[in-house]
């Protein structure tokens, strides 16, 4: 059991240096920003559609 402990600790230390939290947070914020932009676009499009329908259509067909 003691022989297995050293490689596991060494692996965890190496992993903590390889995967920094800043890289992970950067990926989350980039994904969140893209999701936010798309979400705002869809909400504006939905509001535009609803206002157009309430005013009686889109003009001559």
The pLDDT of residue 26: 77
The whole model's pTM is what?
Answer: 0.48
Could you read off the pLDDT of 1-60 as tens digits, one per residue? 556 677 778 877 776 776 666 766 777 787 888 888 898 999 999 999 999 989 876 555
pLDDT at residue 27, as a whole number: 74
Handedness of CA 11, 17, 21, 26 (dihedral sign): negative
- CA triple 10-27-13, angle to 5 deg: 5
Q: What is the pLDDT of residue 59?
A: 56
Q: Which pLDDT value is given to residue 7?
A: 76
């Amino acid at each position: 059991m003691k022989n297995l402990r050293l490689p596991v600790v060494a692996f965890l230390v190496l992993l903590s240096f390889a995967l920094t939290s800043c890289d992970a947070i950067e990926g989350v914020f980039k994904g969140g920003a893209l999701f936010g932009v798309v979400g705002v676009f869809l909400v504006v499009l939905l509001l535009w559609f609803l206002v157009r329908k309430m005013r009686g259509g889109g003009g001559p067909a």
